[in-house]
Structure 1
């Protein structure tokens, strides 16, 4: 856009081929609409639900599951060397595909629900605009505005396009959604020097900002995508969706798993082929495929989606809407939060904080408590009479500064509307930027009383007397010095000072309304911080999260707010936009770790800040509500928009929306995110540890017997039913709040980092228990039924008898398979409760939290396992387990469960205790060695940490003390 702020009005009128008095003709408008298009912001394309559903099938983990499903159909055909297929051959395929479809449905439903929540937050109104065309004033749809149109603006109206002001009368605009500056800007029609800082373009009205006072006329200089708002919207829409850290880790993990499964399958097949009968290659291939399936955690995708889905529901109840499932985990990984000030850390509501009365500074609360007096009566009238703002219920109309005065008056029982009805305004001199004063004349007790408010330095120039201790005396230079000194003290703390005076001189005329006034007092106000934001920042620091404030306000104001938030204390921690412009990328990277506040920034500055923090290896969250926040919301690893005051553009750019506009709520999201990641890691430890146990046990037994002890159906039942029940229950478990006492996990931390030892422990203990269970179970085999002529062991008979076909061998080991199956199903029901990955190192007290969802899941999994093991028809025909009684198979009367072998069931349950007892014992040893065993290095380390923490607390206390002294 051209530098219209520095051009003369006559040149602008000529360049835009318009007439400032008559406006454009309809013919000109029609031509420009054809060439430039409607004045509408670009809207991002919405991915249809069916595309989201289909895309879920091509994610790496889903592809692996589909391949596993295909293998489960192909494997029996290859092993049996026949094309004959039965329903039994499709059971595994159906189960796996069902898991894939359910996972895709969950992801699609969550995405659509989040989108509907966002749509419900959008404004429903269609903006209108008053323009001058063909010499006539008319109201049109803002979408029909074109460059060169003359737009008329009044207080309470949104600016419909980018305007160069050509006339202004006490014209003020709230630009906080664009610049982040909380105080409305006084606009004028004079040309200014060219500037890139939007907040300093005092003769430009920006699209979508809000007029708060006065009247203005402007010429449209940019519409739609060419406006500052449009450029931001276009930049947000052009950004490609980047994968979240969790998605990247899951993708990497899925590739790793697929390679591991292929390696295990090929290795086992080759080992068995070269050590056994090569004519039995089909059987070896079946064993290899079974083991490969055993490596793949088929239920992981469903576990992750269900865990995230439960978390998003829980977060929705906490006023956090998550637009994308994987964004939940990203919140937990954040180690830097960049936040807008206005409306996010502050209340976005100017509030009186201090009062200057009797030449002293007191708090607004102390002034409220003062008894009634002449000064207080006049002060209360000064708050509401020279004031045009109105409050009624939730409706608040007017300048934020004047609204603050009305709010303060209401604290003392004064209603502005009743006061104005009682003391009617008979005359006035409106506020203007040159005088910096506003004066009204009100009729009080049949007398004309003048009330003036404005900048304290300008007001003192027109005052000749002062009320001190309820006495009216002459205003001396010493009095002026004391008042200005107090005002300077307040201004240094970024408070905006407004002063009041009055006159009841009966000889006053309009020419001298603002002369010989009596100084009453002054107020100091600011947009105060949210109390909950202070607590949230403290919580963030405790969690190892750095908070960076980014604002459009001046550096002094920003630092004052930062002090109140315990965020920054010195000017060295604040960087202005001018300094940011001077810094190269390399220079910015060197200093950015020391900067806690960025002031007077433009939207493109915010993107640059976020980008620099990301280059330093940080996971960055950006919170905000204005259009000016949208590009950085989109650029950040996770963008968090405000749902109430947030603009549509900001909500569109964000990944998460806070429906209560409370910065503190984001910390609840961080806690949930950390717990989600922890739960997913616990589920992975369970799945991978148990799969490792299956691989170890099947590998060992297969290498000994050259036949798989478990069938693919057994493995899939264990993986998809038993493991899934437990893993999903882990995701539904209670939150571990101690995670907020740890620094965030960021950088190149894979899903397996810190989890290998628990996985190996589970794999070895559970694998050993399964192997032992198999060989104990084989002791229940009656080998005489199989044709043994002596009392040789089952192993000798199995290895030396050549009459056993593959089918015979599979049937022969049914007792061993059953015992191994019972142990394998039962063992994780116990050790799933022992998988602890939280900060046990930080606390000597073992805090066991019983997860009721996990208890219920264990009982359900146990029940399903017993059904499979003992229900006739299911146990033998589908899962190849031991049947009941005597059964004739291929001419042999094979014994099933009877009084002589019932002991095996109890023995199998007993061997299921090996893994949890082994895990419990090793964890106890590690816990003792870490916390209780004497270690000089640890003692020294704790002493150093305590000394550093004491120094840090002392520095903070001193900074707070200095701040209080200053105030």
Structure 2
């Protein structure tokens, strides 16, 4: 038994006097002086947030990635080699990208913080013997305070008094059914089930209580789970790992080529060492895609913005792509797969059974029998059942004007009965007024019943009773059947029990309803005073069963089907019962009926190897503790899975932190869960996860598209230099280093960003998740960029170079190495690469689908980028002063005609290749 469990046991089993003595308190609380002294000793009653890195450290991280370091070094080499403009340009790109990345992270953090909802602000506390309103953060151990329905529990406490107390502990345990709480000790079933202890972070659903605090802040169970969460460290995302790998690959290729060209320049062309070094540097610059890092950052930022519109707030840019790789989702049940709103869906009476349509705390359904809508006027038994259920009720459901969502004032079970009455056409307020309540015998865990006494009419009192079937049925002697009360027979009891077991097997809860009417005596007050629980709850007439469940979210069925289509496995991990968990899982299509259900106790007994093997099949986890959720996620990761873990409670937080992508609920989620998560769903909608996964896959696909696009220009940038080497200098360098940088950092950037906003191609959610062994720069990307697009662009740019020289008299005259003709020839090479990139930008929009079918003009950002690169080219070509820096010269009309034609055949050639690919796949 842990220290925490021993502490709880100590306060649970002791009587009130012993608990108060241990805490050195009294039934009237602490003095203000003693409370101040304890506040200094224990500190504020707050959950400490994970501090994380300082803003400065977060800022500097954006300048120390492998790609960023490579750019710093490249810039330094350029400056040392005498090309100051080149070095400054490379460094500026690094600085701009780093600032942009930091700004995106800062904005995401701000949005996250705005969602956080801490523990309750005020609590009614006894100080100096008087009940006073106090900031809940100032509560200390030994404080005595009061609670009522709707209050959040601010600390861990022991109950001193309790009346009809029910507490929603789903944020702590994942269990959707409220726990009954009372002063008598009962160990209960499961974690945090002690009957006389209440815990921080939970909510009072019904009743009133007086309690004494024994733990505050980080010492509460809520705080300890938060602490466990904060001890976990996040590892690099798959995208970070892949970008680091890509950086190393590109660096090795670029440096290798640079060394080879450095040696070749010395021995083939007989350049001086310094000049050979600058030449080699140009080749390194040509092969390092300086625009890759800012383009990736901006593409991820676009993904973040699109996800925000789909109610998914991403806290870290790299999490966007990680979603697309997800292979397993570990999902909580309550509030995530279900609505966390108990709903009556069946009624059982001796006269027949009814189905109740509509879900949640909204009157959007009706009662029907044989597909025919029913109201209470159609059946006296139905009328009696609903009337008694509505009268024997302390709960109300209101529409919140701010959120436009139903707001519960009481317990979920009673709320379900209120909505049932509304669906049947009852005016519950009118009934309560016509049949006033005279006395109440609250629910308690011993008898598991609640009874109320009402003035039926001037001559009759009505006893209304509801409770568990096993405890209520023995108190019944008659049963209502077609409007008549008749003796309750053994066969009736068998029929009732059979119906109850049938619904229980479906994971549904039943609540029995009964009543009795007695004559009102002349001295009614004396009659009421003489009533006892025993006298009210005897010789009752059994009316029927209300069958209820926490319904699945309406959109969950389609969301799960999409996950299965995408080969994403979903595993339910809940604190709820095994029966309820499996029935919900089967109903929503999460698993088949053959799925194995593993409880927390069974999980503890399993070895790691057994758990790894079990996780390969259909499996559901029920009655699990927070540390067990963490164990499940970590074992899945050892199995090689990319794991997304969802949840809203503090019990979910450790698993959220451990997972590759933690997804918290923004509306119902606790602040600890939100802090631990990588993504927050602002609408608590599981379907938003599926939309986010599709967005993540699209982001990765788009990363490959603009990687292909960016790498394409490397080949035509390098080939002219190869010609220079192979000709031993007879062919002057067709491009300068600054012109190469113009393509990498200028003309390529905006079209690449346009590709980052490309919509998903058809069928992207019918493909399996990307394997961990797959890489951004794979064979397809390399072939398309270098051997296809790049080769075609190289041929075009080389022809463009000779096209200008031919106009100047080549081959009769030697190729110009200086002067206006040379500047115009290098400008033409630059322009030919730009116009080849126009075709590449269009071609890279799809992998196999026809761009014409996708819509040539459907991506306006690509066309905006194309327009920008043409205007930038014109600026470099015709602006005095700029011409000297970039070695450009004005182009003739014939040059522009040559350039304008370039994209057309390149685009049509690629459309033909894609058509052949589609035809081959169709045959396969």
Q: Shared fold (TM-score greater than 0.5)?
A: yes
Deviations 1:119-171 (A, max 9, x none): 22223775333444565544433333333444433332222211233444332
Over 3 Å counting, the alpha-carbon distance change for 1:303 and 1:845 in structure 2 is closer
1:427 aligns with 2:435: no
SS of equivalent residue, structure 1 residue 325: coil
Aligned partners of 2:824 and 2:30: how far apart in 1? 94
1:794 aligns with 2:785: no
Aligned partners of 2:457 and 2:899: how far apart in 1? 99
Q: Unaligned regions of 5+ residues in structure 1, if any?
A: 78-88, 784-790, 799-807, 885-896, 933-937, 939-967
Over 3 Å counting, the alpha-carbon distance change for 1:274 and 1:352 in structure 2 is same
Tell me if the contact between 2:143 and 2:212 (Cα under 8 Å) persists in the aligned partners: yes
1:865 aligns with 2:851: no
Residues 174-253 of structure 1: pairs in structure 2 closer than 5 A: 174-191=168-185, 197-253=190-246
Tell me if the contact between 1:844 and 1:931 (Cα under 8 Å) persists in the aligned partners: no
TM-fit CA distance, 1:493: 0.9
Tell me which residue corresponds to 1:693.
716
Aligned partners of 1:99 and 1:215: how far apart in 2? 63
Tell me which residue corresponds to 1:510.
531
Tell me if the contact between 2:386 and 2:420 (Cα under 8 Å) persists in the aligned partners: no
Picking from 636, 656, 670, the partner of 2:693 is: 670
1:310 aligns with 2:302: yes
Aligned partners of 1:414 and 1:921: how far apart in 2? 69
Structure 1, 5-14 or 506-515: larger mean CA deviation: 5-14
Tell me which residue corresponds to 2:755.
730
Over 3 Å counting, the alpha-carbon distance change for 1:230 and 1:410 in structure 2 is same
Tell me which residue corresponds to 2:737.
712
Tell me if the contact between 1:875 and 1:882 (Cα under 8 Å) persists in the aligned partners: no
Aligned partners of 2:186 and 2:398: how far apart in 1? 39
Tell me which residue corresponds to 2:842.
833
SS of equivalent residue, structure 2 residue 555: helix
Over 3 Å counting, the alpha-carbon distance change for 1:837 and 1:545 in structure 2 is farther
1:362 aligns with 2:365: no
Residues 386-535 of structure 1: pairs in structure 2 closer than 5 A: 386-394=392-400, 395-446=407-458, 447-506=460-519, 510-511=531-532, 512-535=535-558
TM-score normalised per structure 2: 0.90
1:277 aligns with 2:270: yes
Tell me which residue corresponds to 2:382.
376
Tell me which residue corresponds to 1:766.
793
Structure 1, 516-525 or 545-554: larger mean CA deviation: 516-525
Tell me if the contact between 1:40 and 1:143 (Cα under 8 Å) persists in the aligned partners: yes
Aligned partners of 1:176 and 1:126: how far apart in 2? 17
Picking from 866, 878, 882, the partner of 2:885 is: 878
SS of equivalent residue, structure 1 residue 182: coil
Deviations 1:533-592 (A, max 9, x none): 111011111111111111110100101111111112336422111110101222211211
Tell me if the contact between 1:179 and 1:198 (Cα under 8 Å) persists in the aligned partners: yes
Tell me which residue corresponds to 1:757.
783
Tell me if the contact between 1:156 and 1:397 (Cα under 8 Å) persists in the aligned partners: yes
Over 3 Å counting, the alpha-carbon distance change for 1:875 and 1:5 in structure 2 is closer
Q: Unaligned regions of 5+ residues in structure 2, if any?
A: 357-366, 401-406, 521-526
Tell me which residue corresponds to 1:540.
563
1:110 aligns with 2:104: yes
Tell me if the contact between 2:876 and 2:886 (Cα under 8 Å) persists in the aligned partners: yes
Aligned partners of 2:725 and 2:168: how far apart in 1? 76
Number of equivalenced pairs = 882
RMSD: 2.8
Aligned partners of 1:431 and 1:514: how far apart in 2? 12
Over 3 Å counting, the alpha-carbon distance change for 1:556 and 1:862 in structure 2 is same
Picking from 54, 61, 67, the partner of 2:60 is: 54
Over 3 Å counting, the alpha-carbon distance change for 1:914 and 1:700 in structure 2 is farther
1:265 aligns with 2:246: no
Aligned partners of 2:867 and 2:570: how far apart in 1? 45
Aligned partners of 1:837 and 1:733: how far apart in 2? 9
TM-score normalised per structure 1: 0.86
1:334 aligns with 2:347: no
Tell me if the contact between 2:338 and 2:553 (Cα under 8 Å) persists in the aligned partners: yes
| Pair member with larger Rg | 1
Tell me if the contact between 1:543 and 1:741 (Cα under 8 Å) persists in the aligned partners: yes
TM-fit CA distance, 1:903: 4.1
Tell me if the contact between 1:710 and 1:817 (Cα under 8 Å) persists in the aligned partners: yes
Aligned partners of 1:607 and 1:444: how far apart in 2? 55
Aligned partners of 2:163 and 2:51: how far apart in 1? 42
SS of equivalent residue, structure 1 residue 622: strand
